[in-house]
Chains A and B, each alone.
Chain A
Amino acid sequence: AQSVTQLGSHVSVSEGALVLLRCNYSSSVPPYLFWYVQYPNQGLQLLLKYTSAATLVKGINGFEAEFKKSETSFHLTKPSAHMSDAAEYFCAVSIYSSASKIIFGSGTRLSIRP
């Protein structure tokens, strides 16, 4: 069975600081991995996805994530945080294809300090 674990339910960083949100996955087959962002009272928006091409994936809004098979990790980073990055972030995994059932982590709330 597939699963994801997000380390830290709440992360707070200063504006301009590095953002690092941690995600580890479990999958018996090569996974498809995603990061989604959810702003208050809005739906989920895809930030980026890994589909077995390049291990370093670049997404929208300056975010990127690196697939590390040896560590079963897919951590999300951004070099410099903006106030507008404050939101809930979900790591997720899927198999078969990137449009089949998605298994989500429990989420990490990112707060940005002025």
Chain B
Amino acid sequence: GAGVSQSPRYKVAKRGQDVALRCDPISGHVSLFWYQQALGQGPEFLTYFQNEAQLDKSGLPSDRFFAERPEGSVSTLKIQRTQQEDSAVYLCASSLEVTAGSNEQFFGPGTRLTVL
């Protein structure tokens, strides 16, 4: 596609509900990243995939957060038993590959999650 797309753009959940956020990376991009951006803050790294392999999940804040990319393209970030502190914008980014010098990450518009 023309760019990274994310859905839904907005999600309101009641505390305790599970949510699933989708990311469609740019076609052919090997690497995919998830970031969390709290209100008034810079994005913070959550996790990284190279193709279908999750190579780094050091930024996931708790075991309620789970990400997958089963076929190496579309990725889903799942949050179980949502809490109010999970309210944030979740950004997805993709790039051609990690090791190829000056490749750039392209960001999607984000999903704004509000937990009531």
CA distance A94 to B108 in the complex (A): 19
**Also in contact, A97 and B107, with CB within 8 A (given A44-B91, A106-B41, A107-B41):** no
Tell me if B107 and A44 are in contact (CB < 8 A). Answer: yes
Chain A contact surface mostly: loop
Name B98's contact: one of A42, A44, A97, A104 (CB within 8 Å). A97
Interface residues on chain A, number (Cβ under 8 Å) = 23
Q: Binary interface profile of A, 74-105, with partner B (CB < 8 Å = 1, else 0)?
A: 00000000000000001010001111111111
Residue of A42, A96, A105 touching B42 (CB-CB under 8 A): A105
B45 to chain A: closest residue by CB: A101
Residues of B contacting A: mostly? loop
Interface flag for B7 (CB, 8 Å): no
Cβ-closest chain A residue relative to B96 = A99
The answer, among B41, B42, B91, B100, for a CB contact under 8 Å with A99, is B100
Whether A99 lies near B103 (C-beta < 8 A) is: yes
Mark B4-48 against chain A: 1 for CB-CB distance below 8 A, else 0. 100000000000000000000000000101010000111111001
Tell which of B4, B33, B42, B100 touches A97, judged by Cβ atoms closer than 8 Å: B100
Question: How far, in Å, is A90 (CB) from chain B's closest CB?
Answer: 5
- A residues 42-84 near B (Cβ < 8 Å) are 42-46, 49, 51
B-side residues, CB < 8 A to A, are 4, 31, 33, 35, 40-45, 48, 56, 91, 93, 95-105, 107-110
